[in-house]
């Protein structure tokens, strides 16, 4: 469901950066004006604070509610992976089916029940000026005013994101005046919520309009409770572009977050999600990954088919990777009573293994306890001095797939509560997978397309035996530091150069004399040597 982003030249991006830096300058922070009331989430000295003054850093994801209103379990699933915020896609009826007041009230209640801060956005404004079907910011403001009775009193829990990516690449300078007008219209209607505004250029501001006019827009809000949202996709493919943009706002003491971002490469380039997440953590800025599930192109789905048990490689990166949600998210203190919950759960009991096969095993452990509630468990593989994330579960059992036959693994478990506190590690359990059944196979591998820093690959797995293969696992090794960033037809787990692929539901069985195809995108350096050896369920496959 993500709109395509247009490519830009390095020269234009550099010029926009220089202009924006000069425009932002280092002006003193916009102090809260006399009479401004911190009724809930609010901005002070360039920071997003809760009503009690505690700093709040958003760590969460986007959820396409307006297109998938029946996926009511999604917020609970998102929370189970440690998120403290969810950005919810809504429609004012201009382009998609209007979300009613009753529906929005239910969404807010669902956010609160799952202890999530709720960012609500109107998606119909996407690409205005370039997208003929897009709505105006003024119409989005009218939609919010129509919801005032629903949103009044929710200032501790709800941020109003007026309109998603409310200007395309056509005359993006036209973004500023409608943005100011929409903010002031909401304030005149009595809204006291923190307001979020998205950038033009389909959210990526590659021409620097939001950066150059941020002070003007911020000063136009009589309450000072306004935060800017930059969307980072393929325009932000170098560390310097990312850090320069974010630091420009921080230096000017203007509040900002990464309201959407992607990591898998697209036809325009390869976003540098590692720097986005690292910079956000270093600067204590929020980030909200796009998106939980349901994208027209599933390359950006964090969970496959809305199934929390089937995180994509993109989902694993966001939740369990360095500077990810599991490591960095802290629940809003509004959900913890008079103060923040700082007490970690007890360590879970020792796991036991059952239903061990050549490629899978089920782990079960005695539950941990917590002063509030245990919300999730993180399963890790203990390998030397390293703890490698393997899976997350909202219950005290999980089935691990994609294991290598005839291999000994050591697993342990951490418990996690809603505030992000993590327990000590449980005792470990060793699991040795079964030997692989005899198989006959051949594998064809090719790089379909390559670009600077990335490539698209294809793997054709053929069953040369006489019986079907079900629940297979394919293993191979990259020699040049390549990394799988997204995969379809299977799910990849990677440890250094070694990649293990488990099947998707529709590729889980390879018929006798039949084949399945797995595609993926990956990152690479200067060389991209193809793997030379493949093992299917532990058996060496011939090259096809």
Query: Looking at residue 404, what is its pLDDT?
Result: 83
Query: Looking at residue 265, what is its pLDDT?
Result: 85
C-alpha distance from residue 290 to each of 30, 104, 324, 396 (Å):
30, 20, 14, 28
Closest by Cα among 208, 206, 199, 101 to 146: 101
Query: Looking at residue 501, what is its pLDDT?
Result: 95
Catalytic residues: 165, 260
pLDDT, block means (10 residues), the chain with 544 residues: 41 46 46 51 96 95 97 91 95 97 97 95 97 97 98 97 97 96 98 98 97 97 97 96 97 98 88 96 97 92 90 89 87 73 91 90 95 87 81 86 87 86 93 78 94 94 88 92 93 90 90 93 94 89 87
**Residues listed for the chain:** 544
Output DSSP code: residue 287: E
Rounded to 10 degrees, the C-alpha dihedral 68/73/75/81 comes to -120
Read off the tokens for 473.
Answer: 């696992």
Chain-centroid distance of CA 50 in Å reads: 23
Cβ 139 vs Cβ 94: under 8 Å: yes
Burial pattern 374-387, b for ≥16 Cβ within 10 A else e, equals bbbbbbbbbeeeee
Secondary structure element (H or E) that encloses residue 391, with its range: strand 386-393
Q: What is the DSSP string of 494-540?
A: EETTEEEEEE-GGGSEE-TT-EEEEEEEEE--S--PPP--EEETTEE
Query: Looking at residue 26, what is its pLDDT?
Result: 44
Cβ 64 vs Cβ 296: under 8 Å: no
Query: Looking at residue 17, what is its pLDDT?
Result: 46
Query: How many degrees, rounded to 5, is the angle at CA 188 between CA 184 and CA 190?
Result: 120
Query: Looking at residue 326, what is its pLDDT?
Result: 80
C-alpha distance from residue 181 to each of 138, 185, 220, 323 (Å):
8, 6, 9, 37
Chain-centroid distance of CA 194 in Å reads: 22
Query: Looking at residue 409, what is its pLDDT?
Result: 95
Query: Looking at residue 415, what is its pLDDT?
Result: 93
Q: What are phi and psi of 172, to 5 degrees?
A: -65, -15
User: What is the three-class DSSP state of 317?
Assistant: helix
Query: Looking at residue 339, what is its pLDDT?
Result: 53
Query: Looking at residue 32, what is its pLDDT?
Result: 43
């Amino acid at each position: 469901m993500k709109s395509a982003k247009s490519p830009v030249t390095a020269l234009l991006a550099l010029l926009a950066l220089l202009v924006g830096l000069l425009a932002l300058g280092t002006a003193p922070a916009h102090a809260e004006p006399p009479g401004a009331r911190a009724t809930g989430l609010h901005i002070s000295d360039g920071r997003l604070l809760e009503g009690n003054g505690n700093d709040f850093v958003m760590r969460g994801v986007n959820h396409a509610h307006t297109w998938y209103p029946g996926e009511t379990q999604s917020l609970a699933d998102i929370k189970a992976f440690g998120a403290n915020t969810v950005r919810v896609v809504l429609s004012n009826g201009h382009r998609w089916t209007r979300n009613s007041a009753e529906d929005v009230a239910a969404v807010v209640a669902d956010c609160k029940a799952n202890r999530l801060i709720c960012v609500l956005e109107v998606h119909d404004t996407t690409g205005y000026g370039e997208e003929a079907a897009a709505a105006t910011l003024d119409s989005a403001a009218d939609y919010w005013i129509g919801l005032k009775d629903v949103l009044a009193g929710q200032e501790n829990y709800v941020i109003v994101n007026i309109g998603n990516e409310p200007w395309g690449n056509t005359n993006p300078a036209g973004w500023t005046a409608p943005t100011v007008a929409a903010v002031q219209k909401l304030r005149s209607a009595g809204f006291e919520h923190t307001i979020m505004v998205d950038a033009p250029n389909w959210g990526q501001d590659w021409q620097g309009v939001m950066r150059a006019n941020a002070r003007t827009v911020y000063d136009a809000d009589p309450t000072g409770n306004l935060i800017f949202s930059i969307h980072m996709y393929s325009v932000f493919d170098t560390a310097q572009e990312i850090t320069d943009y974010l630091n420009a706002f921080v230096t000017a003491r203007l509040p900002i977050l990464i309201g959407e971002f992607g990591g898998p490469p697209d036809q325009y380039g390869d976003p540098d999600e590692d720097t986005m997440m690292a910079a956000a953590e270093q600067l204590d800025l929020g980030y909200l990954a796009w998106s939980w599930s349901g994208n027209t192109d599933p390359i950006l789905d964090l969970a496959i088919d809305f199934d929390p048990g089937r995180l994509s490689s993109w989902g694993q990166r966001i939740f369990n990777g360095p500077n990810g949600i599991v490591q960095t998210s802290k629940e809003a203190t509004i959900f913890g009573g008079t103060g923040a919950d700082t007490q970690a759960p007890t360590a879970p009991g020792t796991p036991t293994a059952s239903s061990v096969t050549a490629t899978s095993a089920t782990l079960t452990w005695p539950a941990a306890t917590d002063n509030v509630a245990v919300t999730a468990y993180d399963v890790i593989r203990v390998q030397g001095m390293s703890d490698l994330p393997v899976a997350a579960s909202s219950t005290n059992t999980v089935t691990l797939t994609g294991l290598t036959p005839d291999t000994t693994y050591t697993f342990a478990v951490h418990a996690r509560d809603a505030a992000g506190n993590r327990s000590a590690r449980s005792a470990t359990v060793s699991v040795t997978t079964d030997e692989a059944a005899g198989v006959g196979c051949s594998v064809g591998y090719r790089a379909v397309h390559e670009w600077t820093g990335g490539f698209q690959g294809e793997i054709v797995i053929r069953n040369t035996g006489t019986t079907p293969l079900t629940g297979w696992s394919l293993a191979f090794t990259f020699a040049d530091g390549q990394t799988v960033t997204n995969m379809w037809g299977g799910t990849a787990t990677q440890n250094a150069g070694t990649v293990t692929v488990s099947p998707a539901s529709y590729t889980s069985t390879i018929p006798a004399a039949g084949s399945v195809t797995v595609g993926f995108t990956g990152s690479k350096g200067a060389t991209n040597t193809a793997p030379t050896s493949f093992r299917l369920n532990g058996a060496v496959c011939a090259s096809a």
